[in-house]
Amino acid sequence: MHLPVKILLFGCCLLALLFSPLCPAQDEESAEVTIRLANGVPVEGTFKSAAPEGLTISATGGSARGGQSAKGLKTLPWKYLSAGTRWRYERPMLAELEAKRIKAEKAAKAKAEAAAKAAAAAAAKKAAGTNAAPPAAGTAKPAPAAVNTNQPKAAK
């Protein structure tokens, strides 16, 4: 390699090492992310599950407008959550639902094909039991020709 290319590669590597601590890790799931409503208010509680109905959280019993909220599981509809919260939790849930739908669709198709094969086999068996099946193409034997049909029978 030429010297200018080596210097350029070294410079790029050096810049990457210097600025890598400034970039947050994109796949870091261990950090607790605040769940927020559409108006930006944080929701007290921890994430439990995501369903088509909404986001299920376990409420911690914090104050809500001067009163205590009930502890336990609470489902927040998707339309009341912020865009960032929906992005973080709804997209993976929808992808999982789509994967389950595709898997169920493939299973149903395979089941239908198996049922069709079983029905065809049963029909073939029934046809074979009631009357002889026609011979396969190319395997039929020619009918025996009558021997000397033009000749009168000889007297014995």
Per-residue pLDDT of the chain (156 residues; tens, 9 = 90+): 566 666 666 665 555 555 656 555 544 444 577 889 999 999 888 888 888 888 888 877 554 444 345 678 889 998 999 988 888 888 888 888 899 999 999 999 999 999 999 999 988 888 877 655 555 665 656 555 555 566 666 666
Instruction: Tell me which H or E stretch contains 49.
Output: strand 46-51
The first and second tokens of residue 126, run together, are: 């029934």
Q: Is the pTM for the entire model greater than 0.95?
A: no
Beta bridge partners of 51: 54
Identify whether the C-beta of residue 56 lies closer than 8 Å to the C-beta of residue 75. yes
Query: Is 92 contained in some domain?
Result: yes
The first and second tokens of residue 38, run together, are: 């559409």
Query: Is 53 contained in some domain?
Result: yes
Query: Is 58 contained in some domain?
Result: yes
The CA R_g of the chain, rounded to the nearest whole Å, is 38
Query: Is 110 contained in some domain?
Result: yes
CA distance 53 to 80: 11
Residue 116, number of CB atoms within 10 A of its CB: 10
Query: Is 66 contained in some domain?
Result: yes
The total number of structural domains that make up the chain: 1
Strands 54-59 and 63-64: unpaired
The first and second tokens of residue 136, run together, are: 């396969």
Query: Is 73 contained in some domain?
Result: yes
Query: Is 132 contained in some domain?
Result: no
Q: Which domain holds residue 89?
A: 32-127
Q: What secondary structure letter does DSSP report for 131?
A: S
Query: Is 60 contained in some domain?
Result: yes
Residue 84, number of CB atoms within 10 A of its CB: 13
